[in-house]
Amino acid sequence: MPDEDGYFGEKIAATYDTSESEMFHPDVVKATVDVLADLAGDGSALELAVGTGRIALPLAARGVPVHGIDMSRAMVARLRAKPGGDGIAVTIGDIATTRVDGRFTVAYLVFNTINNLTTQDAQVDCFRNAAAHLAPGGRFVVEVGVPELRKLPPGQTAVPFRITPTQWAFDTYEPATQAMSSNYVTIVDGRAEHESIPFRYVWPAELDLMARLAGLRLHARWEDWSGAPFTNESTRHVSIWEKPAD
> Is residue 115 located within the same domain as residue 81?
yes
Same domain, 189 and 236: no
Do 77 and 154 fall within a single domain? Answer: no
- Residues 110-119 have pLDDT tens digits of 999 999 999 9
The percent of residues in the chain predicted with pLDDT above 70, rounded, is 96
pLDDT score, position 19: 66
Return the ∠ at Cα 140 (arms to 234 and 36), rounded to 5°.
Answer: 80
Number of domains in the chain: 2
| CA neighbor of 131 nearest in space, from 151, 104, 161, 153 | 104
pLDDT tier at 3, thresholds 50, 70, 90: low
- Specify if 3 maps to a domain: no
Q: Is residue 5 part of a domain?
A: no
Q: Do 29 and 103 sit in the same domain of this protein?
A: yes
**Whole-number mean pLDDT of the chain?**
93
Look at residues 229, 233, 41 and name the one whose alpha carbon lies nearest to residue 146.
Answer: 233
Residue 22 above 90 pLDDT? no
Mean pLDDT of 210-220: 98
**Within this chain, do residues 124 and 215 fall inside the same structural domain, yes or no?**
yes
Domain span including residue 165: 149-197
Measured distance between the N- and C-terminal CA atoms of the chain, rounded to whole angstroms: 46
Same domain flag for 155 and 141:
no
Inter-residue long-range contacts of 224-231, CB under 8 Å, 24+ positions, other chains counted: 224/31, 225/28, 225/31, 225/32, 225/34, 225/35, 225/143, 226/31, 227/35, 230/204
Please state which of the ranges 29-38, 56-65, 149-158 shows the lowest mean pLDDT.
149-158
CA dihedral 47, 104, 64, 30 (to 10 degrees): 50
Evaluate if residue 190 carries a pLDDT over 60. Answer: yes
Of 204, 198, 206, nearest in space to 121 by CA: 206
Q: What whole-number distance in Å separates Cα of residue 216 and Cα of residue 140? A: 8
Q: Which residues contact 75 (CB under 8 A, 6 or more apart)?
A: 5, 8, 12, 13, 16, 50, 51, 52
Residue 203 and residue 144: Cα distance in Å, rounded?
9
Q: How far is the C-alpha of 196 from the C-alpha of 165, rounded, in Å?
A: 19
- Output the pTM of the full model: 0.92
Residue 114 · residue 208 · CB < 8 Å? no
Say whether both 153 and 97 belong to one domain: no
Which CB contacts under 8 angstroms, 24+ apart, belong to 31-38? 31/224, 31/225, 31/226, 32/110, 32/143, 32/225, 33/58, 33/59, 33/62, 34/225, 35/141, 35/225, 35/227, 35/238, 36/64, 36/106, 36/108, 36/141, 37/62, 37/63, 37/64
Of residues 44 and 7, the one with the higher pLDDT is 44
Quick one: pLDDT band at residue 23, thresholds 50, 70, 90?
confident
Looking at the fold, whether 153 and 142 belong to one and the same domain comes out as no
